[in-house]
Structure 1
Amino acid sequence: MQRLVEHPQPVPLPEGLAFTDAEGRPTGFEAFRGQGLVVNFWATWCPPCVAEMPALDRLQAQVAKDGIAVLALSNDRGGRAQVAPFYERTGLRHLGIWLDPRGATGRGLQVRVLPTTLVIDRHGQEVARLMGEAAWDAPAAVAAIRRLTRTPAPTTTTTRS
């Protein structure tokens, strides 16, 4: 995995950032308050973005039980009409469709390249960022995300026979 750059101090998110869900309803990061977030800015025309989407989908499946949401914010101008068929073709089942077709949220967060991924803690503050593609479902990445969002690793219970 490329190196996730951790911030020395959490960075508050700018207020008023909005994106939409698959149905076109506006929402913002405050709707996810109390959850850890992995926010990935991507587009269907971006080869490294496309390459990492299956790993982000697997990451969502792994961390959902920990109260962590993976928000893949598409920058595709075609919105849902462009993103939904991509999800179907690639078999993405765990990620929701989130749209930032004008790139306003990305600009507000100073995203300059795709893909860029932000890790946001449960208080709504950015704690780490990675520019470029990564293997998000690798054990080291999952552990880092759980740690950065203050989510303890799941405990394993064993039963004796």
Structure 2
Amino acid sequence: MADGNRFFFPATRLVLAALAAGVLAGAVAVYVSESGYGNKAPDKVAATGSKDDVACEAKAERARQVAAKAVGQVAALQPADPPQSLKGLAFNGPDGKPMTIADHAGKTVLLNLWATWCAPCRAEMPALDALQKEKGSNAFEVVAVNVDTGDDAKPKKFLKDIGVEKLGYYRDPTIGLFNEVKTRGLALGLPVTMLIDSEGCLIAHMNGPAGWSSPDAKRLVEAALTPSG
């Protein structure tokens, strides 16, 4: 339920029901934060040591500067340590065809992984849609990737039922994307969100839900879009 700029998450019984559904579906862990937003991030991010990673590692100070703007309802966002290239992260685009983060070159991306059985994911989806509606542009996009296994029927119905209007329909029914992010040390469960700059470099990340329609989130996006220096 939304109330102005504050976004509230489901009651305990709904979260527990989602957890049970996730276990039955063989799903990954769900994050729950009764008192607010976000959860502790993994201790260390594992980069691959590629040429692109080396270029991204030079942005460590930039990552710290942007993450310093993550306060209030997005305070769980942590700077990438070290920044790494996420150009190769793969999923299906709105047209159903395979794509990667590299296809968003030139655009800052807020990449969010979600599933219909994850109650906190479902709860933050209208806020992500609102953020895309207000801040989406040629320079910024919220890329919310659904990771339900199976066909498109359930996630598409969910998005239609809650009135999502601005988010593109991105999908990965193979769990490959989540597993890749987990291998890199970025994900402990769902939801997981990554702030990626226009060159495909991870700048900041968090595990757990956040108030993405809040003024705090909008200021964070503005900081990410402001040239360094």
Per the alignment, do residues 100 and 112 of structure 1 end up closer, same or farther by CA in structure 2, a change over 3 Å counting?
Answer: farther
Deviations 1:71-124 (A, max 9, x none): 111011134222111111000000011001112122212223100000001111
Structure 1 residue 150 displacement after superposition: 3.5
Cα distance in 2 for residues equivalent to 1:116 and 1:8: 16
The answer on 1:6 being equivalent to 2:82 is no
Residue identity (%): 32
Q: Are the counterparts in 1 of residues 87 and 101 from structure 2 also a CA contact under 8 Å?
A: no
The answer on 1:144 being equivalent to 2:216 is no
Cα distance in 1 for residues equivalent to 2:211 and 2:95: 29
TM-score w.r.t. structure 1 length?
0.86
Cα distance in 2 for residues equivalent to 1:116 and 1:65: 22
1:1-161 map, 5 Å: 1=73, 2-13=75-86, 15=88, 17-65=89-137, 67-110=139-182, 111-150=187-226
Query: Where in structure 1 do 4 or more consecutive aligned residues deviate above 3 Å?
Result: 149-152
What runs of 5+ residues in structure 2 fail to find an aligned partner? Answer: 1-72
Structure 1 residue 148 displacement after superposition: 2.4
Aligned partner letter, 1:80:
D
Which structure's residues are more often strand, by fraction? 1
RMSD: 1.9
The count of residues paired between Structure 1 and Structure 2 equals 151
Q: Are the counterparts in 2 of residues 37 and 149 from structure 1 also a CA contact under 8 Å?
A: no
Alignment match, 1:155 = none
What runs of 5+ residues in structure 1 fail to find an aligned partner? Answer: 153-161
Bigger-Rg structure (1/2): 2
Cα distance in 2 for residues equivalent to 1:145 and 1:21: 22
